[in-house]
Chain A
Amino acid sequence: MNQPIATLTDVKKSYRNGRHKVDVLSDLNLEVKQGEFLALMGPSGSGKSTLLNLLGGMDKPTAGAVEVAGKRIDKMNQTQLAGWRANHIGVVFQFYNLLPVLSAQKNVELPLLLHKMSAAERRKRAATVLEIVDLTDRAGHRPAELSGGQQQRVAIARALVTDPMLLICDEPTGDLDRSTADEIMGLLETLNREYGKTIIMVTHDPKAAEHATHILYLDKGRLSTEAAA
């Protein structure tokens, strides 16, 4: 049950900013267990999003190892990573990032285009996850015709539709009002408890973090279980 699903070992990440080299993360170690709902908190610029990008295979560390489900994803090339993301990672963004030209249904089907699957199968799968996020009646609507909360639920459905091992959420409630945020957090909690999804979420919002099973604080590239003073 509680196998580690993602392990970061001595991870270092630095960016070049003109002539300056900025270390965002250094010697960071982290283990995420299967079925965990981990909330990452910390001030702006603390490296939360960088950490998330590394776990999701959207970015590579400067040094150290990133192992997800027994695979060293830091050793993969761009194409392998893209395939990895398509199969194993679901991402939810702060600003939903739905394609404005596609209906909710089509947005959810989008990741399935990368899998060998009939059009009917794609439709069925998308319908299933839209039902999970309770948006069946809005399947034909375009993003602009949906509220922020509804858009975020479509985004969650899109992240779920490939049945990924890891759900990565970057400030999923950052653009929502309190009650809508609670709704979304309730949905993520259900996904974690009832469907066994491993979720890693970055958030500023302590109330949102309360829904997680664990909370870690990141400050100046270092992790701790306690919030910095």
Chain B
Amino acid sequence: MKYFALVWAGLFRKKARTLLTLASLFIAFMLFGLLQAVNHAFESGVSISGAGRLITNGRYSIIDNLPISHVQRIRSLQSVASVTHASWFGGTYQDPANFFAKFPVEPEQYLAMYPELSLSEAQKQAFIDNRTATIVSRSLAERFNWKIGDRIPIVADIWPGKNGNTWEFELVGIYDIAKDSNYADALLFRYDYFDENRVFGQGLVGWIITRLSDPNKSAEVAAAIDQMFLNSNNETKTATEQDFLLSFAKQVGNIGLIVTGILGAVFFTILLVTGNTMSQTVRERIPELAVLKTIGFTNHGILGLILSESVLMTLIGGGLGLLTAMLVVPGAADALRSLLPGMFLTYSSVLYGMLLALFLGVFVGAIPAIKAMRLNIVDALGEK
């Protein structure tokens, strides 16, 4: 620790240069944090609360509907704690650009299935009591400036209603989504109202959600569900929520590869920028380093000194960048939730980033540090 002042002073020997390098590192690691959060949305699947849920879809495509009678039959299986369903409504609010999900659900059972959605008891009761009620996520309410009591018109595309193409719902509640959940912003309304008023498709649901009493049994129960409906008119395909989301993400594309490609480009550039700074720093300081050696610093001491400088630089730049990403991500996640739910920067990503910064520091510092270590005092002093 007593060498810290020396390392610090050496780092800021040329203030402008060090600040510019720190800025590059800051940018790189902020980008790293943001992209890790994006990646999390695509790849990590679900939060803890998602564990133990199974999703049942039509066997041939997730867009095929299933008869509601399937729900009752799944309920009869062993290791099943509760079952509910939801459907894809499609539809447009005002402009096609206002994309967000709209699901008809069974209010009580659905909210019980998704404990990551929190809603006051009074609002929950209003949702249960009022047939045309809807509840929305807080970020949706903020985005469209909706207040409790507002009437929200949705123009149908898949499901025309008996009273025409426009469905109107009354906003009775606004729910919050747990921070680490990748639940998308959704407008939830009542399935009974939906089923009664749609022109066709009565008795069909989009998908069925099953909670297990024992999460370790997910493979068995999933197989049992699909087995039960095999050779019926509505065969099913059941997967854990995590697998379902993962396979859905894979349909979108290999996001991981793209993110890795971008980060590769960024880090290669940063490697060059910081590496260049470190070797410039050492080159300019050859006589000084020789003096330190004359005073009695050992070769390894000099090696440690230069490496510490370089690691300190990458840790400061990287740390600030990651910290900024941590501050920015929650806001970005809220803003993008309807497009890209589940943007979240995990502590392990941050830790991984810091390790990367450490490694980068050692890597770019190594060559200049070894050069400095090998300096011959007599030659180095002679260069003055």
Is A–B contact present in the complex under a CB 8 A cutoff?
yes
- A residues at B contact (CB < 8 Å): 50, 53, 56, 58-59, 78-79, 82-87, 89, 91, 93, 95, 97, 99-102, 106, 110-111, 113-114, 119, 158
Known interface pairs A82-B297, A93-B291, A119-B2; 12 further A-B residue pairs with C-beta atoms within 8 A, sorted by A's residue number: A58-B293, A58-B294, A82-B298, A83-B296, A85-B296, A91-B294, A91-B295, A99-B9, A102-B6, A106-B9, A114-B297, A158-B295
Find out whether the CB atom of A58 lies under 8 angstroms from the CB atom of B378: yes
Find out whether the CB atom of B377 lies under 8 angstroms from the CB atom of A113: no
Chain A residues with CB under 8 A of B10:
101
Q: Whole-angstrom distance between the alpha carbons of A99 and B13 in the complex?
A: 10
Chain B residues with CB under 8 A of A58:
293-294, 377-378
* CB under 8 Å from chain A, chain B span 1-33: 2-3, 5-6, 9-10, 12-13
Chain B residues with CB under 8 A of A158:
295
CB contact between B296 and one of A95, A100, A111 (< 8 Å): that residue: A111
* CB under 8 Å from chain A, chain B span 159-181: none
Q: Is B264 an interface residue (CB 8 A)?
A: no
A49 nearest CB across to chain B (Å): 8
Find out whether the CB atom of B9 lies under 8 angstroms from the CB atom of A82: no
Q: Is B381 an interface residue (CB 8 A)?
A: yes
Q: Whole-angstrom distance between the alpha carbons of A87 and B381 in the complex?
A: 21
20 CB contacts below 8 A, A to B, read A50-B378, A53-B378, A78-B298, A79-B299, A82-B297, A82-B301, A83-B296, A83-B298, A93-B291, A93-B381, A97-B287, A97-B381, A97-B384, A101-B10, A102-B5, A102-B9, A106-B9, A113-B6, A114-B301, A119-B2
Chain B residues with CB under 8 A of A78:
298-299
> Which 4 A-B pairs have CB atoms at the shortest separation, nearest pair first?
A86-B296, A101-B9, A82-B298, A85-B296
Find out whether the CB atom of A111 lies under 8 angstroms from the CB atom of B6: no
B384 nearest CB across to chain A (Å): 6
Find out whether the CB atom of B300 lies under 8 angstroms from the CB atom of A79: yes
Find out whether the CB atom of B378 lies under 8 angstroms from the CB atom of A95: no
Per-position 1/0 for B278-314, Cβ under 8 A of A: 0000000001100111111111110000000000000
Chain B residues with CB under 8 A of A114:
295-297, 301
Q: Whole-angstrom distance between the alpha carbons of A223 and B288 in the complex?
A: 32
CB contact between A110 and one of B6, B12, B13 (< 8 Å): that residue: B6
Q: Whole-angstrom distance between the alpha carbons of A87 and B298 in the complex?
A: 12
Interface centre among B2, B293, B296 (most CB of A within 10 A): B296
B258 nearest CB across to chain A (Å): 43
Q: Whole-angstrom distance between the alpha carbons of A56 and B290 in the complex?
A: 14
* CB under 8 Å from chain A, chain B span 316-367: none
Shortest Cβ distance from B291 into A: residue: A97
Find out whether the CB atom of A99 lies under 8 angstroms from the CB atom of B291: yes
B345 nearest CB across to chain A (Å): 36
